[in-house]
Amino acid sequence: MKRKSLIAALTALSLIGTGILTGCGEKDTDTNRTASTEQKYGDTYPIEASTTLTYWVDFPNQSTTGVTNFADLPFYKAVKENTGIDVKFTHPSSAEQNNMMLASGEYPDIMEVDFYNHPGGPNKAISDGYIIALNDYMQYAPNLRKYLEEHPEADKMCKTDDGTYYAFPFIRGDKSLIVFCGPMLRQDWLDELNLEVPTTLDEWHTVLTAFKNEKGADAPLSFLVDTLKSSTTFAGAFGVRSGLYVEDGVVKYGEAEPGYKDFIATMRQWYSEGLIDKNVATLDSKILDSNVLDGKTGAMIGNVGGSMGKWTEAMKSIDPEFKLVAAPYPSLNKGERVKFGQYDNMVQSYGSASISSDCQDVELAMRYLDYGYSEEGHMLFNFGEEGVSYNMVDGYPQYTDLIMNNPEGKSFTEALGIYCRPNGAGPFVQDPRYMEQSASLPEQQDALQVWSDNDAEQTQLPRIILTEEESDRIARIKSDLDTYTSEAFMSFILGTMSLDDYDAYLNQLKTIGVDEYVQVYQDAYERYQER
Amino acid sequence: MKAKRMRASAATAGALTKNTLRSRLRKDITRNYELYILAIPVVLYYLYFCYKPMLGIYMAFTDYTAKGGIFGSPFVGLKHFKDFFGSMYFGRLLKNTLIISGSSILFGFPMPIILALLINEVRNKYFRKTVQTISYLPHFISMVVICSMIKTFVSDTGVVGMLVNSITGGDSSLLNNPSYFVPIYVISEIWQEAGWGSIIYLSALMGVDQQLYEAAEIDGAGRWKQTLHITIPGIAPTIVVMLIIKMGSILGLGYEKIILLYNEAIYNTSDVISTFVYRKGLLEFDYSYSTAVGLFNSVVNMIFLFGSNWLSKRFQGSGLW
Amino acid sequence: MMHIKRSRGEILFNIINYIVLTIVMVVCLYPIWHVLMASISDNVEIMRYQGILVWPKGFDLGAYGVVMQNPAIVSGYINTLFVVIVGSALNIIMTSLAAYVLSRKNFIMGKPLMVMIVITMYFGGGLIPFYFTVRDAGLDGSLWALIVPRVINTFYLIILRTAFMSIPDSLEEAARVDGASHIRILFNVVLPLSMPTIAVLILYYGVGHWNEWFDAMIFLRTDRDKYPLQLILREILLQNTMADSTVINTDNRPDIGETVKYALIIVSTIPILCVYPFLQKYFVKGVMVGSVKE
């Protein structure tokens, strides 16, 4: 407690400091705000407020919902009625518009903008005058506070190293929401060829060769390179993954680790044998779709919905036999447990809502955002209105036919986007019961289980935050490293670079500064551990 | 009366070239006051919408923050330039940008002219108009769609890919091979823009004096000679202007098309300044860094512009100014 | 009209020329043909297919229904038309004015002005200062923000200036002797003689306004009802990629059909394609010759 109040005092001080520095601006909002920390509203909804808040948020599915503003959605009408707070929404349609809004120096009260990735971290965003620290106002967010107190691991991810809260986070409320991507194969082909779902690299090799020879698949295995890397498929068998991860408290950069060479060699071998799509370097999601739908491909890496569900649905009319099955993240030896897998952090940077430095009624904004974490808000955000979009059946919120079989022919996502928000990130806690009904095919439910069965949780780098000085230091190193490693990776696989050059490759990483890069993240990781 | 007086003063102005700048200017104002008035809206436009924002170049030397504004943000000197020049890829990026831009000019620039000349030779009015209208269509198809077509064509199962592979013995997409990237970029650029670019030359061709052709035919000059000695000199001013402007945008190669076509395996020949900056992702928040890169591009472009203008004046007698 | 006996070489050239231009036409017609055929195909078949598209894969006009139901398309059309018509008109007026002033040979400020103008093609402060300038002019959030700040395109100005400079001095002299003012010379002598170039610039400016989306994105951030067509098109074309990158897409159905994207391209492209044939009538040879003869 002591520590907390000290931090609060420090943040307040730093705010006053920036207030003086930037005080030449036309309005001095900081003094107004410190004066208004007195509680104005009651703790229960609806709140009687005359102020209208302004809210900046992405609205990607405008064309499918049929409205152009959140305020016209049945969902936000319900939020307004329940909270009693009137909100004017503005929706950017691109990252550039976000940037322009931020650069213009005039901000709406609430912004769903990713300040976690702001260079120098959220603290820098606060000292630069974009957003405010929420610590002084947390008493106006009793619901969020309650959740964070009950979930200390989420709490840790929501604040910066010095304990500053800077946003109302998007929280994935269960492990089943954290894993959603992995390798999959055509079950119907496996059955036809009398093969089991492969679990080791050797088995994968056998299956892919069979797909190529027996099924005439031109591209037995297809994937987007980014997905291959981010999902850690195949690399995990050699005890590494692409990018940064943590092992026994030590931060590592996969591309510079010993196992990576074996991973590259395997991929190169498969490519030269024609097991990986010949066009893998130029593959985009459109070509991947056509590979799968045209029967050129029998194994792929993708998401449970956006890939597995989409392909299954599309293939219904082409090949009714088509069926996919998720494979576990493969290991080198049978029965080995892999350390890696796709794993998202519980708290995400997207969908988080921050309060801007221009906000005149911080308490009201806090209370509005806090609603999403209340019991009533939680149900509304995840399932919509009872009796309309869901019904309680034996204590389980079941989506109605309005969502599951929309009479207007809207898809699950489209219909859901009208009545609630669980399929989009936002300031609330995502409910696993949404996913249970969304990924409704048995193979999808199966996939979520299969892909979670590994130790990815331990190796995943948490939401660490670099200081401004650190981001400056690695800015050049990072862009050179990214370019060099991805170029070398592809060149090794396609065979344009010889594996004999691997030592030269490692030396080049050193020259670029990989050690300094890892060290910076190691420091930040240690700071995170001490939070 | 008035016109006579003006011509007289123009003559004296020519005679008194030794006059001081100020008195020449004063004379010019009295003589051309009408032009000065007409120039006012133009000058105001350029001052306000072009020169005022130009002060923002200062951002390249600061760490821009919104609340600080353009001139209130912390000064960091050459930090962003050091970041950019310090990259181990700086040399390669510059080289690739120059090669891709240079080949686009070398091979792409003459194409609209040739196309315009060919169209000009067509006597059938309807055929001529049809060719004109159809040849500029690719310009209107969005880049994403065009690039996905290009990728399909050059893949191992595409028309162009199979053709080239049957000669070279390759077996994968042409875009996997670093040495094919520049030809693919340049040829598709011609495909997209030659028809659109030819419009300006077609209009310039309309201005060529028809009497010259009639005279040439009487002299017995064939079509080839007419083209060489009448048509091309007739549109030469347009060609020169277009070329100088192209030269002056040599580093201004955009990222959109390259991002859609390239891949990691061929960074070696396809990664350029704009794609590198784009990938760096710093555009997100770091306005100062992109301003610094933009400033570097501008300086190099200006050198090329002034250089080619000087060459043009020297060898051709006229330039942009 | 003169008729001269064609040599064998010329006949051969003509044949080759027709063949070459026919190939050019086929190659250039393909992209829009592909888009058109894809737009009337079956969605799943299009997802599945890669390669050259000569005829539609399956047949389904549903995509056009989806496009037409989108209310933003109509408002987009209206906004775009306003910007194209008003914008291009102002463009032509201002550009002619500037080109006229800069093409006068006995105007000693001509050269410094030209250098000052050419520099602006290369040096700019980037997006942020430009945005502030436009905002300070009070144009933020208005369709005029798409017109006024870009009222002269320096590149086109140079083209027009070149055309003006190629008009024989004798014509201008003659008008001067008659006591004509500069404005009258511009409108009665210079512009009529430069119609082919003016037609090209109308096309260039018009197409430029038609295809414009970036300025609209920057200056009309909060005013969706003012979005021009291309910005709406872009939003929909990029919709999937945006959703994919931020959210787990758990839906079992593709968000928006491939065919809908193609139909949108057709709907938003065809009108502007029809402009050029109308402008072609200004591409007439011998305008100059006729007036020189007087």
Quick one: closest CA in A to B74, which residue? A128
Decide which of B39, B72, B105 is a domain's last residue: B72
What is the domain count for chain C? 2
What are the chain B neighbours of C9 within 8 Å (beta carbons)? Answer: 222
Q: Are residues A300 and A415 in the same domain?
A: no
Decide which of B31, B53, B72 is a domain's last residue: B72
Query: How many whole angstroms separate alpha carbon B87 and alpha carbon B96?
Result: 15
**Cβ-defined contact of A293 to C48 (cutoff 8 Å):** yes
A159 to chain C, minimum CA–CA distance in Å? 21
3-state DSSP assignment of residue A283: coil
**Cβ-defined contact of B211 to C289 (cutoff 8 Å):** yes
Residue A440 counted as domain residue:
no
Q: Are residues A291 and A200 in the same domain?
A: yes
What are the chain A neighbours of B171 within 8 Å (beta carbons)? Answer: 278
The predicted model gives B298-314 an average pLDDT of 86
Confidence of residue C95 (pLDDT cuts 50, 70, 90): very high
Q: Which of residues 210-239 of A touch B (CB under 8 A)?
A: 225
A492 to chain C, minimum CA–CA distance in Å? 27
Q: Are residues A382 and A335 in the same domain?
A: no
Residue A197 counted as domain residue:
yes
- The residues near B224 (Cβ < 8 Å, ≥ 6 apart) are none
Q: Are residues B132 and B206 in the same domain?
A: yes
Q: Are residues A339 and A410 in the same domain?
A: no
Q: Are residues C54 and C161 in the same domain?
A: no
**Cβ-defined contact of B206 to C284 (cutoff 8 Å):** yes
Q: Are residues C41 and C68 in the same domain?
A: no
> CA of A96: how far to CAs of A99, A104, A112, B283, C215, in Å?
5, 12, 15, 9, 11
For residues A354 and A116, the answer to whether their CB atoms sit within 8 Å is: no
Count the residues in chain A.
531
Q: Are residues B161 and B191 in the same domain?
A: yes
In chain C, DSSP finds a helix count (H) and a strand count (E) of: 16, 0
Quick one: closest CA in A to C216, which residue? A97
The predicted model gives A110-133 an average pLDDT of 87
Query: How many whole angstroms separate alpha carbon B217 and alpha carbon B230?
Result: 11
What pLDDT is stored for residue A62 in this prediction?
A: 63
Report the residue from C34, C111, C125 with minimal CB separation from B55.
C125
**Cβ-defined contact of B119 to C269 (cutoff 8 Å):** no
Q: Which of residues 427-456 of A touch C (CB under 8 A)?
A: 435, 438-441
A200 CA to centre of own chain: 28
Residue A400 counted as domain residue:
yes
What are the chain B neighbours of C35 within 8 Å (beta carbons)? Answer: 141, 145
* High-pLDDT (> 70) share of chain C, %: 87
Q: Which candidate, A285, A280, A284, places its Cα nearest to that of A268? A: A280
Does residue A54 register a pLDDT over 50? yes
Q: Are residues C127 and C9 in the same domain?
A: no
* Backbone φ and ψ of B68, nearest 5°: -75, -30
What are the chain C neighbours of A438 within 8 Å (beta carbons)? Answer: 250-251
The answer, for C256 touching chain B at a CB cutoff of 8 Å, is no
A195 to chain B, minimum CA–CA distance in Å? 29
Residue B321 counted as domain residue:
no
pLDDT, tens digit, for every residue of B224-246? 888 888 888 888 888 888 888 88
> CA of A233: how far to CAs of A259, A271, A301, A342, C137, in Å?
14, 15, 8, 8, 54
The answer, for A496 touching chain B at a CB cutoff of 8 Å, is yes
What are the chain B neighbours of A281 within 8 Å (beta carbons)? Answer: 173, 175-176, 263-266
Confidence of residue B284 (pLDDT cuts 50, 70, 90): low
Quick one: closest CA in C to B224, which residue? C10
**Domain span at residue C210?**
61-293
The answer, for A194 touching chain B at a CB cutoff of 8 Å, is no
Decide which of B36, B51, B72 is a domain's last residue: B72
CB atoms within 10 A of CB A213: 12
pLDDT, tens digit, for every residue of B115-144? 999 998 888 888 888 898 888 888 888 788
Q: Are residues C182 and C75 in the same domain?
A: yes
- The residues near A526 (Cβ < 8 Å, ≥ 6 apart) are none
**Cβ-defined contact of B67 to A22 (cutoff 8 Å):** yes
> Does the reported pTM lie above 0.90?
no
Counting one residue from chain A and one from chain C, the pairs whose CB atoms sit within 8 A come to 135
Q: Which candidate, A479, A504, A476, places its Cα nearest to that of A492? A: A504
> CA of A531: how far to CAs of A71, A153, A506, C2, in Å?
39, 11, 34, 93
What are the chain B neighbours of C276 within 8 Å (beta carbons)? Answer: 132-133, 136, 199
* High-pLDDT (> 70) share of chain A, %: 91
Q: Are residues A159 and A282 in the same domain?
A: no
Instruction: Average the pLDDT over each of A220-234, B54-68, B247-261, C2-16 and give the range with the smallest value.
Output: C2-16
Q: Are residues A185 and A272 in the same domain?
A: yes
For residues A385 and C208, the answer to whether their CB atoms sit within 8 Å is: no
Decide which of A343, A360, A386 is a domain's last residue: A343
Q: Are residues C235 and C150 in the same domain?
A: yes
**Cβ-defined contact of C251 to A96 (cutoff 8 Å):** no
What pLDDT is stored for residue A55 in this prediction?
A: 92
**Cβ-defined contact of A305 to C251 (cutoff 8 Å):** yes
Q: Say how many CA atoms lie within 13 Å of C137 toward its Cβ.
A: 21
**Cβ-defined contact of A475 to B267 (cutoff 8 Å):** no
Counting one residue from chain A and one from chain B, the pairs whose CB atoms sit within 8 A come to 103
The percent of chain C in helix, strand and coil, each rounded to the nearest 5, is 75, 0, 25
Confidence of residue A63 (pLDDT cuts 50, 70, 90): low
**Cβ-defined contact of B265 to A487 (cutoff 8 Å):** yes
Q: Are residues B20 and B140 in the same domain?
A: no
**Cβ-defined contact of C151 to B45 (cutoff 8 Å):** yes
Residue A76 counted as domain residue:
yes
What pLDDT is stored for residue C239 in this prediction?
A: 60
Decide which of C21, C42, C60 is a domain's last residue: C60
The predicted model gives A357-379 an average pLDDT of 91
Query: How many whole angstroms separate alpha carbon B205 and alpha carbon B120?
Result: 8
C155 to chain A, minimum CA–CA distance in Å? 26
Q: Which candidate, A434, A341, A332, places its Cα nearest to that of A383? A: A434
What pLDDT is stored for residue B216 in this prediction?
A: 82
Residue A18 counted as domain residue:
no
Supply angle C-alpha A511, A515, A517, rounded to 5.
100
Decide which of A313, A343, A373 is a domain's last residue: A343
**Cβ-defined contact of C32 to B140 (cutoff 8 Å):** yes
pLDDT, tens digit, for every residue of A185-221? 999 999 999 999 999 999 999 999 999 999 988 899 9
Quick one: closest CA in C to B242, which residue? C159
What CATH number is given to the structural domain containing B296?
Answer: 1.10.3720.10
Q: Which of residues 261-280 of B touch C (CB under 8 A)?
A: none
Q: Are residues B108 and B181 in the same domain?
A: yes
Quick one: closest CA in C to A89, which residue? C222
Asked if the ipTM is above 0.85, the reply is: no
State the amino acid at position B220 in one-letter form: G
Dihedral over Cα of A457, A459, A460, A465: its sign = positive
What pLDDT is stored for residue B140 in this prediction?
A: 84
**Domain span at residue B63?**
2-72
- The residues near A217 (Cβ < 8 Å, ≥ 6 apart) are A211, A295, A296, A297, A298
Q: Are residues C106 and C198 in the same domain?
A: yes
Query: How many whole angstroms separate alpha carbon B298 and alpha carbon A359?
Result: 39
**Cβ-defined contact of A413 to C255 (cutoff 8 Å):** yes
Does residue A24 register a pLDDT over 70? no
Q: Are residues A56 and A93 in the same domain?
A: yes
Q: Are residues B200 and B312 in the same domain?
A: yes
Q: Are residues B114 and B226 in the same domain?
A: yes
Q: Are residues C134 and C173 in the same domain?
A: yes
**Cβ-defined contact of B68 to A282 (cutoff 8 Å):** no
Q: Are residues A139 and A192 in the same domain?
A: no
Q: Are residues C85 and C185 in the same domain?
A: yes
Q: Which of A94, A179, A312 to mutate to test the interface with C (most CBs of C within 10 A)?
A: A94
What are the chain B neighbours of A104 within 8 Å (beta carbons)? Answer: 66
The predicted model gives B162-191 an average pLDDT of 88
The answer, for B145 touching chain C at a CB cutoff of 8 Å, is yes
H/E element, A347:
strand A347-355
Q: Which of B206, B244, B274 to mutate to test the interface with C (most CBs of C within 10 A)?
A: B206
Q: Are residues C111 and C89 in the same domain?
A: yes
Quick one: closest CA in C to B1, which residue? C179
The answer, for C263 touching chain B at a CB cutoff of 8 Å, is no
Query: How many whole angstroms separate alpha carbon C252 and alpha carbon A312?
Result: 8
Q: Are residues A172 and A319 in the same domain?
A: no
Confidence of residue C75 (pLDDT cuts 50, 70, 90): confident
Quick one: closest CA in C to A425, which residue? C247
- Token pair listed for B198: 């030819």
Dihedral over Cα of B72, B74, B75, B80: its sign = negative
Q: Are residues A97 and A61 in the same domain?
A: yes
Does residue A406 register a pLDDT over 50? yes
- Preceding omega of C277 cis (within 30 degrees of 0): no
Q: Are residues C14 and C83 in the same domain?
A: no
> CA of A231: how far to CAs of A224, A302, A391, A451, in Å?
11, 9, 36, 10
What pLDDT is stored for residue A94 in this prediction?
A: 73
Query: How many whole angstroms separate alpha carbon B136 and alpha carbon A519?
Result: 55
Q: Are residues B146 and B271 in the same domain?
A: yes
What are the chain C neighbours of A294 within 8 Å (beta carbons)? Answer: 48-50
Q: Which of C75, C140, C242, C247 to mutate to test the interface with A (most CBs of A within 10 A)?
A: C247
**Cβ-defined contact of A130 to B66 (cutoff 8 Å):** yes
For residues C83 and C143, the answer to whether their CB atoms sit within 8 Å is: yes
Helical ranges in chain B per DSSP H: 2-15, 21-31, 33-45, 52-54, 69-72, 79-86, 90-103, 110-121, 125-135, 143-154, 159-168, 181-206, 210-218, 223-226, 232-247, 256-261, 267-270, 273-280, 287-316
**Cβ-defined contact of C166 to B134 (cutoff 8 Å):** no
Q: Are residues B210 and B304 in the same domain?
A: yes
**Cβ-defined contact of A475 to B83 (cutoff 8 Å):** yes
Q: Are residues C30 and C68 in the same domain?
A: no
- The residues near B192 (Cβ < 8 Å, ≥ 6 apart) are B138, B139, B146
What are the chain B neighbours of A496 within 8 Å (beta carbons)? Answer: 178, 265
What pLDDT is stored for residue A254 in this prediction?
A: 92
Dihedral over Cα of B170, B171, B172, B176: its sign = negative
The answer, for A350 touching chain C at a CB cutoff of 8 Å, is yes
> CA of B288: how far to CAs of A527, B61, B73, B295, in Å?
29, 7, 10, 10
What is the domain count for chain A? 3
Contacting partners of chain A (3+ CB pairs under 8 A): B, C
Q: Are residues B43 and B153 in the same domain?
A: no
Residue with more model confidence, C209 or A306: C209
Q: Are residues B55 and B105 in the same domain?
A: no
> CA of B276: how far to CAs of A483, B88, B89, B177, B262, in Å?
8, 12, 9, 20, 12
Confidence of residue A370 (pLDDT cuts 50, 70, 90): very high
Q: Are residues B239 and B280 in the same domain?
A: yes
What CATH number is given to the structural domain containing C272?
Answer: 1.10.3720.10
3-state DSSP assignment of residue C258: helix
Does residue C292 register a pLDDT over 60? no
Q: Are residues C182 and C203 in the same domain?
A: yes
For residues A177 and A439, the answer to whether their CB atoms sit within 8 Å is: no
For residues B3 and C179, the answer to whether their CB atoms sit within 8 Å is: yes
> CA of A63: how far to CAs of A388, B131, B138, C79, in Å?
22, 38, 28, 19
**Domain span at residue A239?**
181-343
Supply angle C-alpha B84, B86, B92, rounded to 5.
80
Query: How many whole angstroms separate alpha carbon B43 and alpha carbon A337?
Result: 73
Decide which of C60, C80, C95 is a domain's last residue: C60
What CATH number is given to the structural domain containing A360?
Answer: 3.40.190.10
C288 to chain B, minimum CA–CA distance in Å? 7
Decide which of A413, A430, A447 is a domain's last residue: A430
Q: Are residues B230 and B158 in the same domain?
A: yes
Q: Which candidate, C79, C80, C122, C100, places its Cα nearest to that of C198? A: C100
For residues A218 and A298, the answer to whether their CB atoms sit within 8 Å is: no
Query: How many whole angstroms separate alpha carbon B182 and alpha carbon B72?
Result: 43
Residue A304 counted as domain residue:
yes
What pLDDT is stored for residue B155 in this prediction?
A: 85
What is the domain count for chain B? 2
Q: Which candidate, C193, C210, C188, C214, places its Cα nearest to that of C276? A: C210
> CA of A365: how far to CAs of A49, A51, B178, in Å?
11, 10, 54
Q: Which of A15, A111, A479 to mutate to test the interface with B (most CBs of B within 10 A)?
A: A479
Does residue B309 register a pLDDT over 50? yes
Q: What average pLDDT does chain A have? A: 85
B18 to chain C, minimum CA–CA distance in Å? 14
- Token pair listed for C54: 């000569």
